[in-house]
Structure 1
Amino acid sequence: MKEPSAGTGATTSFDDVKQVGAGVLNIGYVDAGPSDGAVVVLLHGWPYDIHSFVDVVSLLTDAGYRVLVPHLRGYGTTRFRSDEAMRVGQPAVFAVDVVALMDALKVEKATLAGFDWGARTADIVAALWPERCHGLVSVSGYLIASQESGRNPLPPLAELSWWYQFYFATERGREGYEKNRHDFAKLIWRTASPKWKFDDATFDRSAASLNNPDHASIVIHNYRWRLGLAEGEPQ
């Protein structure tokens, strides 16, 4: 593999989104940097998208890395290859998706980095497929969901911060998110990062990825699965 070298970073344009069949999905992804560079896979969270990494990619490609930034299932141009496939959002399936993407692109091993849902995904790949993981950067901690521990109540103030999980457990919450996903996402951006003064253009750039036809189903299943209210993928 090509050794990384020093360089200067600049914001990368994500206009060129490629598509590849990988497992149950046709995954949309950015592929930047030298084709023979050591591979880094960057994984976004909810309710964000690949544009979370626009300032990061150039720093890595300038250093000689090949950088892959996929839209997770339910985001952007990523689509299910079959109408019959379960629209499942449990954490393990995102890890399976990443391994399938690496297989499709003939990437044997990569450094995996992510935040929020992306951090969980990277952690699971590292735990279950360590031979595919050269390194791990997990922003927000080492997060692998446990339904068993999730049954334990938290102090009221901690429960308050997870209000949307309880909202999503209801049919009203599912309909509300389906109808108001953009306003919902903007609220989460503001409450999760109260010091981040993002402008409308920055938000709208990422919010477009939430228009994916499977987005709401994936999000609702993810949070219901965490609370033990939805079955996971049988496999």
Structure 2
Amino acid sequence: MDAIRQGTVKANGLDFGYLEAGPDDGPLALCLHGFPDSAHTWRHLLPELAAAGYRAVAPFSRGYAPTGVPEDGAYQAGALAADANALHDAFGGGPDAVIIGHDWGAFATYGASAHAPGRWRKAVAMSVPPLGALMGAFFTYEQLKRSFYIFVFQTPVAEMVLNRAFVESLWRDWSPGHDAAEDVEHVMACLSLPENRAAAIGYYRTMLDSSRHVARYAAEQAAAATPGERPVLYLHGGADGCLDAAAADPAAVLAHLPAGSRAEIVDGAGHFLQLDHPAEVNRLILDWLAD
């Protein structure tokens, strides 16, 4: 099994810290994390991708240490998509590259693959369905209760709320039964400084306030809301405590994805399904990439 290495690379004007496994000359597999998480969320998948011949890379997202905090304060989906496409260049990716994203990484995956389909052969998105499917389910009473944290993050007390106990509680609620001690340690290391915590909250403030959007990411932002061209494997945990599986009905999801896409519910898995059921999720991803 390939060892996981660490490194730093400059892309889209930021210094990105990353984890990596596999040969330098293999096709790029870019793995993008969400909230409250880190690149370590891919610790089970990276070695499997490496064994399949990929150069598997998991960057820490913008604002999450050791990656830098962007000076322009851009945290919209379009900025994340632009980061992904810039990282494709930084790692010498070709048209055989694949992109895999969880949570906010899923938003980046939709935007990057739709905006620059020539860079990506296939895509995998997890735990956040495409925007068209998501909007149909987000405003139910039950889902609004689950999404309370988004609204808390719009308030002046958000930075005080985002502490270890809060992060531990989100992991406990979102992936019931998963021992998240290691993951919480990684998250708190990424958010140890006030500017890092402000960055993580900034994703959600930008989510509900388009006046925070940075104009230079407008094309990627628009692309993130379109089906795009590259086929997508969408995976969602059946026991997801963040976004109920009812919001990820495969038929509804596929209506907003390109032809040739697939959508599956992973029974018993929570929001962090790549950690809850790693063997099953790894198999689904590797089979999809090999098909």
Residue 210 (structure 1) aligns with: 191
In the other structure, the counterpart of 1:97 is 83
Letter in 2 for 1:139: M
SS of aligned partner of 2:9: strand
After TM superposition, the structure 1 = structure 2 runs for residues 1-235 of structure 1, keeping only pairs within 5 Å, are 10=1, 14=4, 16-80=5-69, 85-109=71-95, 110-144=97-131, 154-177=139-162, 180=163, 182-198=164-180, 200-211=181-192, 214-228=195-209, 230-235=211-216
TM-score normalized with structure 2 length: 0.67
Question: Structure 1 residues 153, 38: CA separation in 2 closer, same or farther (over 3 Å shift)?
Answer: closer
| In structure 1, C-alpha distance between the alignment counterparts of 2:211 and 2:205, rounded to whole Å | 5
1:132-158 CA distances to partner (integer Å, 9 max, x unpaired)? 111101112543489xx59x9823222
Question: Residue 212 and residue 22 in structure 1: after superposition, are their counterparts in 2 closer, same or farther (change >3 A)?
Answer: farther
Which whole-Å CA distance do the structure 2 matches of 1:37 and 1:68 have between them? 11
| Alignment gaps of 5+ in structure 1 | 1-9
Which of 98-107 and 202-211 deviates more? 202-211
Determine the C-alpha separation between the residues in 1 that align with 2:92 and 2:43.
24
Q: Hey, what's the Cα distance between the residues in 1 that align with 2:75 and 2:193?
A: 14
Instruction: In structure 2, list runs of 5 or more residues that go unmatched.
Output: 217-291
Which deviates the most, 102-111 or 124-133?
Answer: 102-111
For the 8 Å contact 1:88–1:218, the answer to whether it is kept is no
Whole-Å separation in 1 of the counterparts to 2:132 and 2:62: 18
- CA RMSD of the aligned region, Å? 2.5
- Measure the CA separation in 1 of the matches of 2:118 and 2:165: 41
| Aligned length, in residue pairs | 215
> What is the Cα deviation at residue 207 of structure 1?
2.8
User: Matches of 2:153 and 2:123 in 1, distance apart?
Assistant: 30
Q: Percent identity?
A: 29
Determine the C-alpha separation between the residues in 2 that align with 1:142 and 1:202: 23
Question: In 2, Cα distance between the equivalents of 1:170 and 1:229?
Answer: 16
- 1:50-92 deviation line (CA, Å, top 9, x unaligned): 1111111111111211111111001131114x7xx21221111
Question: Could you say what secondary structure the match of 1:17 adopts?
Answer: strand
